[in-house]
A and B are shown apart, each in its own frame.
Chain A
Amino acid sequence: MADIAFLLLIFFLVTTTIETDAGLDRMLPPIEPPEDDVVIKQKNIFTVNVNRNGQLLVEEELMDIKNLRAAAVAFLDNGGLKPGEEGYCNYCKGERDPGSSDNPGKAIISLKNDRETKYSVYITVQNELVAAYNELRNREANRLFGRDFTDMEQEYLNPETPETVREELKDKVKRVQDLFPQKLSEAETSKN
């Protein structure tokens, strides 16, 4: 009996792996350009350039990658419009600098990288930008529903969650996502 069980055990040990499947989800832009060109004000774009040595140029200034998250949060959470103006962001807690983004719905992060940028650096930058969004979404989710957004999203995406709970979570997740929509644009890589 034990021999047979050992045989099976060794078979499973050899043919299987413990899965490590988790990662950063991203949507690529469709290949057809949108029909109407939208004019976006420069102040609503947060440019991040990564060069081949893994150095960052953020808003035309050299920046250490460790400060990227804070800079992105400050940009997204700015809410530069004055109270009473259309699109005024009443939940933003940023600097309210009129020279930075109008509101989180208009704020766009533009990421550009070199062909020789290392993939690990790119993932770190992506991770920091997603972290900036998650930080703000968590803040709003805690304010509105008293729990973390990432936590709610994870439960919503988990197929084992019962249908009724998921329906309820769907609206909440959507609402928080709408407060800070993820607008991360990736330009084609530059050759030099």
Chain B
Amino acid sequence: MAKFAKKKDGDLPAVSTASLPDIVFMLLFFFMTVTTMKDSTLLVENTLPNASEIKKLEKKDRIIFIYVGTPSEEYQAVYGTEAKIQLNDKFANVSEVGSYILAERAKKPQEVQNFLTTALKVDKNANMGLISDIKQELRKVNALKVNYTTYQGNAFNNLQ
């Protein structure tokens, strides 16, 4: 009765990989939907502070980003350890903020130009002096709507 020969012990069948593409595609679609493209590489340290009373920034096309923080380690030899401003992909001075905002505003479609928000992504160890200077520049170009971008969390964690 060779037909019913007993299988040898320990002879495991190979795991079928037929469903592998499906699984990988599922992961792919997951990442495609929940993430967004990076638009600029960070040159500065950017640990945002925590806040609890936050509002989400809707409509990505109406936001202009300004990054502030101490330069990352590889730039510290050149730019020092004081907090710097990063506009697009390069370091900038306070005086350049105004023209940057105007240039970015001009790039946006006409109908949204009046509804732009400036998102300030500031490292939590930065000093308020620099932020005040930026705010003053923003007021000069009439970009009055700002958003201090933060992480969701307990605000008292900032003080430690």
Contacts and interface: CB of A to CB of B under 8 A. Distances in A.
A5 B155 contact: no
A138 to B, nearest CB: 11
Contacts of A159: 58-59
B136 to A, nearest CB: 8
A114 interface: yes
B122 interface: yes
Interface string B43-54: 000001111111
Interface of A: 1-2, 5-6, 8-9, 12-13, 15-31, 54, 65-66, 113-124, 126-128, 130-131, 134, 150, 153-154, 157-159, 188-189
Contact of B21 (A2, A24, A114, A127): A2
A9 B32 CA distance: 8
Contact of A119 (B36, B38, B53, B127): B127
A65 B159 contact: yes
Contacts of B63: 21
A159 to B, nearest CB: 6
A113 B128 contact: yes
Given A2-B24, A6-B24, A120-B49, A25 B55 contact: yes
- Interface of B: prevailing SS: mixed
Interface string B1-43: 0000000000000000100110011011001101111100000
B56 interface: yes
Nearest to B32: A12
A29 B139 CA distance: 7
Contacts of A28: 135, 138-139, 143-146
Contacts of B113: none
Contacts of A23: 51, 54-55, 57, 119, 147-150
6 contacts: A21-B119, A23-B55, A28-B139, A115-B132, A118-B124, A127-B52
Nearest to A4: B21
B81 interface: no
B114 to A, nearest CB: 14
A6 B21 CA distance: 8
B59 A118 contact: no
A15 B32 CA distance: 10
A20 B20 contact: no
Given A22-B56, A154-B55, A123 B31 contact: no
B126 to A, nearest CB: 4
